[in-house]
Structure 1
């Protein structure tokens, strides 16, 4: 099938905008993107009537399906706060894909969400990328893409209440470094073992950290305050980790230094107040300042801190405060995909990518806008007026 007569933001490496073109889909894969009309038209083709087609939107940091609105403690599965180091936790065991938030995401044009554990633990567990359409979480994602780590107030206050370490920033960082050192030694012992009897005793926590040390997955550092951001960078450099700065609230104050590190930042939530001391410098100009300094930037909701359906409005606020429209699109498409490491399959409209796309008549980032069409993996999940 084809989606035709559309203006296309391809978001590919050439930053191409096709003024009047088409996208051809076979199964769940894009097979062609071009100007004019498709060579082979079918009865199932969708006429976009001059609207604008974008890649499906990506929220680069959420807790989707780990918390259910209005349910209370029974629906809270994002924080295992009785051990500060839990890398072995498999987040797929906690996500409920039938939670209503997934439907709200689809209706807003969000086709992929990055789902992370909460931030009470210095090392909290696996992070996955999942599509927003489906009933079985095993078939909605692509496995582990990251490891959640948290700095600053959240782990401090959590374990202060439990009357155990960590209760200082020093201790939070120390737990992360100690366990990464242990994982390095565990990995080395496994590699040097000459027989089964020489192998170290199986340790699920250390096993879970090996892909991080091998740079097969990324470290997602929860960090708001400038000193916590630099602690994240310090730890990442110490262990040669591929890393992302999540929230990066003070990033606008230290943008030049972060540019020197070539850091990647996921900014948000944007629609919120300064609800705790480490967010005192929160500003909607953050994304624009970071981008102006050459950093790769994505925008997130941190759902359920901000409901998932407000991702496009969050981008609109960033655009109002200095981010260009095109960079706003990138912040929830190609840049978001690149930052989290899924740009080989999604984030742009080009052949061999998954058929994730969203069609709008007006700006997708205005409060009155709704998508006319949303497609996830080649399946139309919303269609109105086309």
Structure 2
């Protein structure tokens, strides 16, 4: 039987909460964070709905004691989440063990780079924001803020499966002995670039997204940051850590079907889930809850639904998508949903799939629509990205 990797800390900020506790309270209350755009000036502000973090950059900068207008929103959110995760883990000296940071992002510093784009050839006043465009810059800023600038630091950008792959890589590095502790997850903010890009793809909704519903209209973009602390068994024993849960299994595959669409039969998703089961040493019957990718787009929900049926047959476990709460937070979605999965394990709950009314005509799959209390020992979480990059994580209460 596979030994899982211990999770000892979690931190996050999203449209439904400024920390893990607030996020959980919103999940239990069925409180969505989806609203009209208020923080970005765009011609689409009255056409779509998004999941915005409530605080402004200025408010977050004051909270972190940062100089005004020095960081883009992505690392600001990431620093908040990473610090919360380290605090919960009880880590006061981050250099006491071989520690790394693996962060997923798609936007990077895009929000500030686009703000000062037209100044690019005129003046160099905001050159730091132009240089901060790339994804790795955001990760480095987070690393510096938590004291890891001279450690193993890397960025994963595999679209919407980025944070899942960050968690998977972190677990593998601990298993291999390369690192003893890894901070894993991701951070992404909203920007005009992503709004315009997804608008062009015609998959944004002008109302509240409704995963797995026959009448779903598309996704709501969101912003968030979420990080988990993974630690080796040796650290857990030496430091007497409280273990929140375990990364039990993981799998990554590519269905090589289309640049932005998943295959209609969910080939990549099936392969990712099968790999995760193999790593975990578990059978599908062991899963008590599936936190689905569930973007509420016509393509994803059809593809993922068929994949679930192929893997679980007639016995698909309780499942729901939590993107109706937060919106689709792109690279960090799997980090957000990893924390939600661990919270489900801790509190023995299945979250409701908000806004669901009508089953899809292609199959008779109905997500959990009300908060459900049940014994949960194992949770499977799916994350599928553009380019066909499909990842599955399995979390458990026991190693």
Q: TM class by shorter-chain length?
A: 0.3 to 0.5
Report which of the two has the higher share of helix: 2
TM-score normalised to structure 2 length: 0.32
Q: More strand by proportion, 1 or 2?
A: 1
Larger-gyration structure (1/2): 1
Q: Which has the higher contact order (CA 8 A, sep 6+)?
A: 2
TM-score by length of 1: 0.33
